[in-house]
Structure 1
Amino acid sequence: MTTDMMKAVRQHEFGGPEVLRYEDAPTPELKAGEVLVRVHAIGLNPPDWYLRDGYKTLPPEWRPQVTFPLILGTDISGVIEAVADDVQRYSVGDEVYSMVRFPSGLAGGSGAYAEFVSVLASEIAHKPSSIDHVHAAAAPMSLLTAWQFMVARGHEEQNPLQAQQHVPVPLEGKTVLVNGAAGGVGHFAVQIAKWKGAHVIAVASGEHETFLRELGADEFIDYTKTPPEEVVHDVDLVLDTLGGPSTGRFLRTLKRGGALFPVFPLGFSGGEEAATQGFTVSATQVRSNGAQLEEVGRLLDDGTIRVAIDSEFPLHDAHKAHERAAQGHIRGKIALTLRDSHRLLKDTS
């Protein structure tokens, strides 16, 4: 029996970056409704290292059961290699980008750290023609997160941490504060808010000020010198890309009727205070959506939204990319490239 093989980065146990192995793996089999993409670049995201180390940030009862070996990663850009018979919209040779199987792939990895990945046709979109594969691969999860929090949810799945559905708020003419503004979600959120007509306050460390002002920030706060909650008032919306237990401090920056959107809502304990003050605290989980990627792709294509690349690593150095992520203070996104690894190997057994 002959099995098509590819190169991929897999892990066989939980742990640090050292558990990521560059090795041979079976090429995904194409199923109904899917396309097979020859990957040119991969974007890294926090769920990659959350899964790599065993979801230690989640309560034990929430941690999915994982089957090894697994292939990390969700965000890809590449060229369609094959198309299932029932897929009509796409053809072999099309350049596409995608957030693959998220969150449905949380338990076993979505398979993006590889030469080939199978993707539901509903989760892909045509790659914006004016940007390269690296910039396209770096966009999906972070850009869709900002979009689904701030513009259109794109799905009806209920966030189990809150009673109400997440609803984006109007941005035109409003004041929006983005915490963690230089990171993956943050630098897109700044641009979206500005495009929608908001007055944007960006919070990040001082070395990112010029970068964020170039993206459209009207005001900048260096959090290493000034706690933003001590100097900012009457904000309509805070998008806290860091979230967690400290996100409640931003309640004091809001005007009555304002909203706090923590991207990572676990640990927030100020619900009663928020309700008393007339504030809305709400979050959603980003989900794959090819139609939205087509929509935001037009903004990437015409330069309305730019993708910042912090650093690039070849696929076989994925562990080094994860080491870079662990250092923090990322400007934009980290990407993996496959420029020198495109070959389909044969393993006969």
Structure 2
Amino acid sequence: MMQPIPDYNLEYTGEINPEPGDKQTPYCPSESLIKIVQLAIKLERPLLLMGEPGVGKTKLAHAIAYHFSHNPANKAALEWIKDQTEWKDFINKEGWPFFPWYIKSTTQARNGLYTYDAVGRLRDTQLVRSEFLPNDLRGKIIQNLQDKQQRGYIKLGALGKAFKSPLPAVVLIDEIDKADIDFPNDLLVELDEKCFLIEETQEEVFAKNPPILIVTSNNEKDLPNAFLRRCLFHYMESPSRTELETIIQAHFGQDLPNIDKIIDAYLDLQNLTAKQGGKQVSTSELLDFIKAFKEILFAPLSDVPALFRENLGLLLKTREEQIRYHKTRERTEDDS
């Protein structure tokens, strides 16, 4: 008889993070974000995140999975699952089950549950009759064709894997507003009832553990009210000066020189782009800028405003934005 899974902890505090220099970058959530994540987990509701590009909407799901993976309270559960053959595919290299679903304009709701390879099955029904087919391959194809669960032709999507996961999996539904307007509503039954039907086999898949759903949107189109009613919502503001300092130090260490000058130059650039009505430079772009000079070019971050002006391609991503920046800066200097 299989032993029950050891106890685990689903409290997200934001305090378990990679060290500077690790492959996965640290994540610095606000207190309000930590609170809404915990409420979403306890209420078993999707958490819908909006905010400017680059504020960390997508990375939150990765951070939650990392937190659960490296929480000592979850070590016994993760080790137990690794020893179970039927569950080994649900544990990724980070540890905790994490299934991202990156939405495209052509994505359909069913893709997140499962896909059925009807063409592959048709090919196998024809291929198995071939007299040139090796016996070992013929045996495998016959086994797939006779399998009532059709496991050789059914591939679970992010939600399908999460429903079968032995632990409450973290699921990222990224940029949901890219999909067709009906896409969110097409998931309502599955999200409410925590189950879905594989039509080809009539198998009902029930969620062993309700997944932790993180949904991001760039607000390119309105989402249906029926979907919004089932979500918790959080708008991620651009970080304050104090939060910027915390984020930069988390990524590059406490001893990064001229951090005040870096933040001053960044906020000045934000003010200039706001005056010209252009795109704001995101936090992630600022971190890329610092990384370029600290870890790739090995150049000192001394005269930061000059470095910004001379390397606008790291911060302003169109020719028009750069021209507007120079013109706005010249007018500002003339006025002063």
Range into which the TM-score falls when normalised by the shorter chain? under 0.3
Structure number with higher helix proportion:
2
After TM superposition, the score normalised by the length of structure 1 is 0.25
Greater Rg, structure 1 or structure 2?
2
After TM superposition, the score normalised by the length of structure 2 is 0.26
Structure number with higher strand proportion:
1
